[in-house]
Structure 1
Amino acid sequence: MHPYKIIFDGLHSTLKKNSGLSEEEFDKRLDKYKKFENRDYSDDEYFDKLVQVVFYSGFKEQIVNAKLDIIKSYFSNYQKVLNYGEHEIKEMMQDEKMIKNRDKIESCIKNARTFKELIEEYGSFQRYVNSFKIKDSFGNYSFENLMLFKEEIEFNFSYLGTTTSYHFMTDIGLPVLKPDRVVKRIFCRLGFIDTQEMDKQILKTIIQGRKMSEAVGWPIRAVDIILIRYGQVGKDEEFDLEGGICLEANPKCHICGVKKFCHFAGNI
């Protein structure tokens, strides 16, 4: 059995020590990620989250963050976007401030049309999500229904693949971890998943994330933020971090608070 809580507390405390924020301010900014679960979103809020997932996919977070305002201006609501055609696509492709990725732009337009169809059928996107009965009246989640929802959105929406579908689910407050390369790297080094099969162990990464969330009593979205910040490259303005700790190249093992649990630190 992995000591999930001890490890997570070590990750959390290390980030706070290396942040330019006070510990109180750090945790205050983290608190908003503890409120993603158990809330409803409007149709446009859901669409906004889907658009962001599409644009973040395969891109460095810092690049998309710098362009987020212009992305939001073009994709502010699904009803506007579903009427976009070649004229609007060309406008975006010629905009120096915009991310000029035609596949992503066209995918968001297709997704707006899918949104419209689902909302017409169910009444709202929230009702569509609720139709999967992911959570029962006692507050218990059905992992089977979570996976059914994952398969459904991956099938219905353009640019949602195996990892990005989980990304969307995490961002709308469902209890799954984003199994991206940063999280898998950290879990691999901690022995949570197999080093040789890291890229194939998406479901195991999801399960380990759930176990960590349950052990610390935090929503998965907040756990996810700590893991991502621990392994990300580059400065993070939100938490005033100069960079992550568990980096792919040149990890900062000398300041890592969970080094004694790491299978990697002793080999460098």
Structure 2
Amino acid sequence: MEKQKCAWCKGDALYEQYHDSEWGVPVKDDATLFEFLVLETFQAGLSWITILRKRENFREAFDSFDYRKIAHYNQDKIDSLLQDAGIVRNKLKVQAAVTNAQRFMEVQEEFGSFSKYIWGFVDGKPIKNKVENYKEAPSTTAESDALSKDLKKRGFKFVGSTVMYAYMQAVGMVNDHEVDCFRNEEI
């Protein structure tokens, strides 16, 4: 018998694989947290599946999401990224990836890790919502508002509350798996 899954992922093998193995799983590793930060900021205004389908292209174009390298991208590298048809070629988002890498390292320096900083917005443990239908899940919360505001104050770009809530869902700061989804209790 097939396991019950969140309705949003059904029918697309890539979406289902992402749902089953990654979405909502608590991430404490700074490198992975940065990868999702890049992907979520590029997702702003687009569908997540669009970004997911380009994920490996992003990984290749952005040096495996190595924030230490990205923080030092020069104009030639930025220009080459803007010519890369495998990614979303948005000048402001590409520039934001560089800026966010720089700010990311500043946060690491201040807090010891980005993970320690970001998980502080949920007191170190995932918020478990009781979502019956994914369409009823919030798009922002007080926590995503606070995170967005603090990141913006620190100079991060493309980190509005809606983007940050999607980020929080992706990295497991929030468990918004539908209540009858098999992953709801597993995570």
TM-score (norm 2): 0.68
| Structure 2 contact 96–157 (Cα < 8 Å) conserved | yes
Deviation at 1:64, TM superposition (A): 2.7
Pick the aligned partner of 2:69 from 53, 72, 80. 80
Write the letter of the residue equivalent to 1:161. Answer: G
Give the corresponding residue for 1:186: none
**Is 2:103 aligned against 1:104?**
no
Determine if the alignment matches structure 1 residue 58 to structure 2 residue 57. no
Q: Is the 8 A contact 2:40 2:166 kept in 1?
A: yes
Say if 1:218 and 1:64 are closer, same or farther in 2 by CA, change over 3 A. closer
1:89 corresponds in structure 2 to: 78
1: distance between equivalents of 2:31 and 2:5? 37
Shift of 1:123: 1.3
> How far apart are 1:145 and its partner, in Å?
5.7
1:125 is aligned to 114
- Per the TM alignment, residue 87 of structure 1 is displaced from its structure 2 partner at its CA by 1.0
Aligned to 1:171: 170
Gap change, CA 1:101 and 1:218, over 3 Å in 2: same
Preserved CA contact (<8 Å) 2:24 2:175: no
Cα contact 1:134–1:146 (8 A) shared by 2: no
2:54 alignment partner, SS class: helix
Q: Which sections of structure 2, spanning at least 5 residues, go unmatched?
A: 129-140
Give the distance between the partners of 2:5 and 2:122, measured in 1 at CA.
35
Q: Match of 2:56, as an amino acid?
A: D
Q: Is the 8 Å Cα contact of residues 134 and 145 (structure 1) preserved in structure 2?
A: no
Matching residue of 1:180: none
- Aligned partners of 2:147 and 2:161 also within 8 Å: no
Distance in 1 between the 2:5 and 2:112 partners? 45
1:69 is matched with 56
Match of 1:44 among 31, 47, 52: 31
CA contact (8 A) 1:50 1:168 kept: yes
1:63 shift after superposition: 3.4
- Identity across matched positions, percent: 21
> Taking structure 1 as reference, are residues 132 and 62 closer, same or farther at Cα in structure 2, changes over 3 Å only?
closer
Shift of 1:96: 3.3
Q: C-alpha distance in 2, partners of 1:34/1:135?
A: 18
From the superposition, tell whether residues 82 and 144 of structure 1 become closer, same or farther in structure 2 (CA, over 3 Å).
same
1:20 offset after TM fit, Å?
Answer: 8.9
Match of 2:136? none
Per the alignment, do residues 101 and 155 of structure 1 end up closer, same or farther by CA in structure 2, a change over 3 Å counting? same
Q: Measured at CA, do residues 34 and 83 of structure 1 come closer, stay the same or move farther in structure 2, by a change above 3 Å?
A: closer
Amino acid at match of 1:110: T
Q: Report the structure number with the largest CA radius of gyration.
A: 1
Letter in 1 for 2:66: N
The two structures have a TM-score, normalised by structure 1, of 0.50
1: CA distance between counterparts of 2:51 and 2:121? 31
Structure-2 separation of matches of 1:70 and 1:111: 19
- Please name the residue that 1:151 is paired with: 149
**CA RMSD, 1 decimal:** 3.8
How many residues matched?
A: 167
- Give how far 1:219 is off: 3.9
Distance 1:64 1:29 in 2: 12
- 1:202 maps to what in 2? none
- The 1:29/1:89 distance shift into structure 2, 3 A limit, reads closer
Cα shift at 1:167: 1.1
Q: Give the match's secondary structure for 1:50.
A: helix
